[in-house]
């Protein structure tokens, strides 16, 4: 393996537990023209770890280990087994969850979601792409799935100079499968669905709304497959409305309401979330429980201010549509929006709406999306539950 050295005065982030080393922190030329595994040392030659080198990305190295060990089949087998054992402890008896959460499971550049007998895999770095057949072999050995999907349609692959595509990599994968969560059933499209097919990161937040759903008229904005709305109905909400701009998402939500026996107590509408919220505000339509779970408005720091304006506006309109005593569940999955900034934005929206709010719960991502201390990027989901007065 080639050895790369950090510049003098660089590396504090790595010493504090981070796994990323930027190109600007490396000393000298870097002749590698393809992704490879490298040894990393500080400027004095002290061993820091072994990681994956990316020639195309500003994140030049992602550390895999701080030990001197072979990065081969045994290494990945142990990492996958460790991740699987954690999920079995977190969710005993369940078979659908995020199995590998990239840096959170010390496997940067690799995401694996388990859907019963099927796996959805995202490979985000060139080095992981180069060894993907080994990864698939290990996953088959340990989990024996019926099929594996490569869900490599994410934009971050462009930063690594990688092609975007979706395909069945191993075995067979049907057009749709059905998974169970919280005694509800959800149809999942592994090939054409958003993300890997389902949003596991909100799993425990969907259960949390049980405390606030009884007898409520519910609005689920950016509903996707209807998971929040259907959980609210399970917990005795009187009626639920789901909004999404995707026709496919609305059709999927309708199917999920039917297979769970809720189709008579809900409706799902294709609409732009901002426009819909403004329209119900004008019509003075009110709800008792509103869930806002938008896509990431801030995918980079460059658009943070614009994203905050979006969060402020959507929370403002939701608050206008909330009955006195109602509950707002508002989320942000943008890492660049800190919990403090997000809460400040909600406070500004409540002031503009003339509403007083009490913060009931601060929540985050499900523990199958573990947060690695020292790598703040692994903590991205904020979920605040607030009561209106």
pLDDT value, residue 298: 62
Residues 6+ apart with CB under 8 A from 362: 339, 382, 383, 384
333 is catalytic: yes
What's the CA gap between 76 and 112, in Å, rounded? 13
What's the CA gap between 218 and 286, in Å, rounded? 9
Q: Each residue of 184-225: pLDDT tens digit?
A: 999 999 998 877 789 999 999 999 999 999 999 999 999 999
Which of 49, 54, 77 lies closest to 64 in space, CA to CA?
Answer: 49
Q: Could you count the other beta carbons within 10 Å of the beta carbon of residue 251?
A: 15
The residue to which tokens 């592994």 are assigned: 190
pLDDT value, residue 288: 97
Residues 6+ apart with CB under 8 A from 230: 184, 186, 240, 256, 257, 260, 262, 266
- The DSSP output letter for 114 is E
CB 318 within 8 A of CB 379: no
pLDDT value, residue 221: 97
Phi first, then psi, for residue 291 (nearest 5°) are -115, 125
How far CA 58 is from CA of 20, 125, 260, 385, 387, in Å, comes to: 10, 12, 46, 37, 43
State the alpha helices, DSSP H only, in 304-338.
Answer: 304-320
What's the CA gap between 181 and 196, in Å, rounded? 16
Looking at 216, 223, 333, 383, which residue is catalytic? 333
What's the CA gap between 35 and 24, in Å, rounded? 17
Q: Could you count the other beta carbons within 10 Å of the beta carbon of residue 171?
A: 16
Which of 298, 350, 360 lies closest to 322 in space, CA to CA?
Answer: 350
DSSP string, 178-225: EEEETTEEEEE-TTTSSTTSS-GGGHHHHHHGGGT-TT-EEEEET-TT
CB 95 within 8 A of CB 166: no
Helices then strands, each counted (H, E), the chain: 10, 19
Q: How far is CA 177 from the centre of its chain?
A: 20
Q: Each residue of 80-102: pLDDT tens digit?
A: 999 999 999 999 999 999 999 99
Q: Order of strands, edge to edge, in the sheet holding 217-221? A: 266-270, 239-244, 217-221, 287-292, 322-332, 382-388, 357-363
pLDDT value, residue 30: 67
Q: State which residues of the chain have pLDDT below 70.
A: 29-32, 298
pLDDT value, residue 32: 65
């Amino acid at each position: 393996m080639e050895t790369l050295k950090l510049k003098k005065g660089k590396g504090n982030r790595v010493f504090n537990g981070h796994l990323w080393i930027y190109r600007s922190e490396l000393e000298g030329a870097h002749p590698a023209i393809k992704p490879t595994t490298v040894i990393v040392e500080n400027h004095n030659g002290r061993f820091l770890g072994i990681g994956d080198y990316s020639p195309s990305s500003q994140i030049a190295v992602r550390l895999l280990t701080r030990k001197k060990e072979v990065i081969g089949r045994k290494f990945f087998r142990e990492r996958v087994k460790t991740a699987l054992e954690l999920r079995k402890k977190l969710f005993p008896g369940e078979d659908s969850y995020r199995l590998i959460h990239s840096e959170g499971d010390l496997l940067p550049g690799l995401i694996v979601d388990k859907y019963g007998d099927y796996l959805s895999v995202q490979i985000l770095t060139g080095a992981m792409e180069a060894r993907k057949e080994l990864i698939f072999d290990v996953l088959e050995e340990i989990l024996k799935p019926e099929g594996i999907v490569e869900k490599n349609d994410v934009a971050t692959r462009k930063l690594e100079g990688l092609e975007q595509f979706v395909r069945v990599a191993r075995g067979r994968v049907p057009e749709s499968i059905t998974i169970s969560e919280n005694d509800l059933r959800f149809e999942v499209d592994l090939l054409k669905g958003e993300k890997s097919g389902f949003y596991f990161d909100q799993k425990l937040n969907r259960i949390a709304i049980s405390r606030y759903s009884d007898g409520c008229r519910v609005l689920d904005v950016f509903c996707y497959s209807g998971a929040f709305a259907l959980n609210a109905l399970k917990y005795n909400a009187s009626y639920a409305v789901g909004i999404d701009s995707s026709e496919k998402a609305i059709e999927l939500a309708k199917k999920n309401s039917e297979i769970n026996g809720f189709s008579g107590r809900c409706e799902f509408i294709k609409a732009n979330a901002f426009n819909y919220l403004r329209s119900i505000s004008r019509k003075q339509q009110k709800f008792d429980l509103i869930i806002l779970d938008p896509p990431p408005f801030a995918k980079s720091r460059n658009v943070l201010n614009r994203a905050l304006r979006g969060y402020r506006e959507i929370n403002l309109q939701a608050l206008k549509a909330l009955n006195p005593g109602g509950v707002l569940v508002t989320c942000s999955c943008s890492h660049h929006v800190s919990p403090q900034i997000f809460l400040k934005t909600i406070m500004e929206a409540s002031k503009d709406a003339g509403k007083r709010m009490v913060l009931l719960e601060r929540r985050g991502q499900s523990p199958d999306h573990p947060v690695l201390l020292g790598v703040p990027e692994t903590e991205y989901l904020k979920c605040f539950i607030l009561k209106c007065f």
